[in-house]
Amino acid sequence: MKFVTVFILLFMLSCAPARTPYRSQPVDIPPAQGTEYLVRKGDSLWRISRRYGVSVEKLMDLNNLASPRMLKTGQKLVIPEQHTPHTRGTDQFIWPVQGQIVRSFGEEVDNLKNKGINIKSSSSMVYSSGDGTVVFADYLRGWGNTLIVSHPSDIYTIYANLNQTTVTPGTSVSKGKKIGTLQTDREGNYILHFEIRKKHSPQDPLKFLVKTK
């Protein structure tokens, strides 16, 4: 219990509020097994090749790229069918909701850096991204109802902007289990703020998420 209290304190001190307005253009979540990938701001061909486990040369050849520097935001790339985003062992998580990314990891709005991703969904249902144990389920100022799930290898997933939770601290959850529902914003949209952390260090969720729910 003492560890959980310290974790939550550090979490609150190190996070930017989840409800800051999103201003980026919606970006479709890339298909896990899919043939098409939409290039996002900050992407590089090397990074995409690492994520999908395919060589830079193969991507260049498949997409008729003369140089790895030809990549542009919004460009569509073809990914070989047999390749899926590459992660390690237990660090494999599904998308907690289906939808579009409306704020990316590291994006700054009003001088606040996003330490996760914001996903706009057509459904209010939220699912656990992986097997783990709920260590926090309560209201956080600026975040609304929030869930934190502990996973192996000191990984934590964080779900904010919830309307209600369906699990309590100490509950074991499996990958894909319903853990809560989303509330709507002022425009009537369902927006999930989702983070993945290694201990207290924010990680880019796109390096861990491997398929949609």
C-alpha torsion angle, residues 187, 26, 183, 139 (rounded to 10): -120
200 & 146 share domain: yes
User: Is the model's pLDDT at 132 over the cut of 60?
Assistant: yes
pLDDT at 59 over 60: yes
pLDDT digits (tens, 9 = 90+) for 24-50: 434 344 433 345 778 888 888 887 877
**Domain shared by 21 and 44, yes or no:** no
One domain for residues 17 and 116: yes
Q: Does residue 162 share a domain with residue 109?
A: yes
Say whether both 66 and 98 belong to one domain: no
Q: 21 and 122, same structural domain? A: yes
Taking a C-beta distance cutoff of 8 angstroms, is the pair 211, 32 a contact?
yes
Looking at the structure, do residues 49 and 23 belong to the same domain, yes or no? Answer: no
Stronger pLDDT, 5 or 27, i.e. the higher one: 5
For residue range 169-187, list pLDDT tens digits in order. 999 999 889 999 999 888 8
Q: Worst-scoring range by mean pLDDT, 1-10, 43-52, 132-141?
A: 1-10
pLDDT at 158: 95
Tokens of 34: 């899919």
CA distances to 2, 9, 68, 142, 155 from 5, rounded to whole Å, are: 5, 6, 46, 18, 17
- 88 part of a folded domain: no
Q: Residues near 57 by Cβ (< 8 Å), separated by ≥ 6?
A: none
Tens digit of each residue's pLDDT (9 = 90 or more) over 49-58: 777 777 788 8
Judgement on whether residues 108 and 176 belong to the same structural domain of the protein: yes
Residue 19: other Cβ atoms inside 10 A? 15
* Helices assigned H by DSSP within the chain: 2-14, 45-52, 56-62
- Its domain, for residue 58, covers 36-78
Label residues 181-194 b or e (16+ Cβ within 10 Å = b): bbeeeeeeebbbbb
> H helices of 41-187, where?
45-52, 56-62
pLDDT band, very low/low/confident/very high, at 145 (cuts 50, 70, 90): very high
pLDDT at 22: 41
Least confident stretch, 35-44, 104-113, 129-138, 145-154: 35-44
Same domain flag for 12 and 104: yes
Closest CA to 118 of 41, 17, 42: 17
Q: How far apart are CA 130 and CA 178, in angstroms?
A: 11
